[in-house]
């Protein structure tokens, strides 16, 4: 019996991936590191630190330099999200959030981002979210289950009562490790392990989703 939904932010509620990409690209260019859009695809849902470590690859940098590069990337990112507005909500999100609320289902955010709160506020959906698990909530990033377990706990629910909506492989892995139901958005090459796979949230609603989750459970 589903009583809660935990939504990832980037790639699910809005598309901040492009801003993350531009910020990392700028940093990589300044540092003479190889980076491109394709490499950025692999950084979906990956924490800031782990993203940087993947971009620097075999190169060795002292901790201070890594910290400075993370700060610089984040400054570029923070600058670029200033103009986010409700128009940046992905199709289908608002209606689904409202239907879930109507159905008495609790809603949490489960994002790796330390910038999740300001983004949710700019998107105008802060009042529709009951709990926030973000980049400050737990130590171990996805694919560890910790972030989603934290979110379920904040909602006062058991893992098996929760559905996680994710666009990243690491996110689906984390949700499955937490013992939750999963809806994967995007190609099966990325979210193929999810119980239900959809291209996006545009053409679905709670009734359809519930039927698909029931099929997956049977
Ligand atoms: C997001 C993005 C990642 C980003 C991470 C951390 O995850 O997909 O690209 O590296 O958050 O963001 P920040 O640097 O703002 O802390 P999610 O979990 O919302 O998909
Ligand atoms: Mg994501």
Q: Is residue 215 among the annotated active site residues?
A: no
Strands of the sheet with 4-7, listed across from one edge:
131-133, 106-110, 4-7, 162-166, 181-185, 196-198
Residue 115 CA: which ligand 1 atom is closest?
15
Long-range Cβ pairs for the range 53-62 (8 Å, 24+): 55/24, 55/27, 55/28, 57/33, 59/33
Residue 74 CA: which ligand 1 atom is closest?
14
Strand ranges (DSSP E) for the chain?
4-7, 106-110, 131-133, 162-166, 181-185, 196-198
pLDDT 10s digit of each residue in the chain, 218 long?
999 999 999 999 999 999 999 999 999 999 999 999 999 988 999 999 999 999 999 999 999 999 999 999 999 999 999 999 999 999 999 999 999 999 999 999 999 999 999 999 999 999 999 999 999 999 999 999 999 999 999 999 999 999 999 999 999 999 999 999 999 999 999 999 999 999 999 999 999 999 999 999 88
Provide the whole-model pTM.
0.95
Secondary structure letter of residue 160 according to DSSP = G
Q: Which residues are annotated as a binding site for substrate?
A: 8-10, 24, 43-48, 51, 73, 111-115, 142
Which residue among 8, 15, 71, 79 is the active-site one? 8
Do 44 and 173 meet the contact criterion of CB atoms below 8 Å apart?
no
What is this model's ipTM?
A: 0.94
Q: Is residue 134 among the annotated active site residues?
A: no
The tokens describing 167, both together, are 């666009």
Secondary structure letter of residue 34 according to DSSP = -
Q: Which residues are annotated as a binding site for Mg(2+)?
A: 8, 10, 166-167
| Ligand 1 atom 6: residue of nearest CA | 113
- Phi first, then psi, for residue 90 (nearest 5°) are -70, 155
Do 180 and 162 meet the contact criterion of CB atoms below 8 Å apart?
yes
């Amino acid at each position: 019996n589903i009583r809660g939904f935990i939504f990832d932010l980037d790639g699910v509620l809005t598309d901040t991936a492009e801003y993350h990409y531009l910020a990392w690209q700028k940093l990589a260019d300044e540092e003479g590191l190889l980076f491109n859009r394709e490499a950025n695809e692999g950084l979906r849902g990956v924490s800031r630190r782990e993203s940087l470590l993947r971009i620097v690859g075999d190169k060795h940098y002292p901790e201070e330099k890594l910290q400075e590069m993370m700060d610089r990337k984040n400054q570029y990112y923070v600058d670029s999200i200033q103009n986010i507005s409700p128009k940046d909500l992905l199709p289908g999100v608002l209606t689904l959030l409202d239907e879930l609320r109507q159905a008495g289902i609790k809603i949490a955010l489960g994002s790796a981002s330390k910038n999740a709160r300001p983004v949710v506020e700019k998107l105008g959906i802060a009042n529709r979210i009951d709990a926030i698990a973000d980049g400050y909530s737990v130590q171990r990033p996805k694919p560890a289950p910790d972030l989603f377990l934290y979110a379920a706990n904040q909602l006062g629910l058991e893992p098996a009562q929760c559905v996680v909506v994710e666009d990243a492989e690491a996110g689906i892995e984390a949700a499955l490790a937490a013992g939750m139901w999963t809806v994967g958005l995007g190609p099966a090459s990325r979210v193929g392990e999810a119980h239900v796979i959809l291209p996006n949230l545009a053409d679905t609603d709670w009734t359809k989703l519930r039927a698909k989750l029931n099929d997956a459970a049977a």
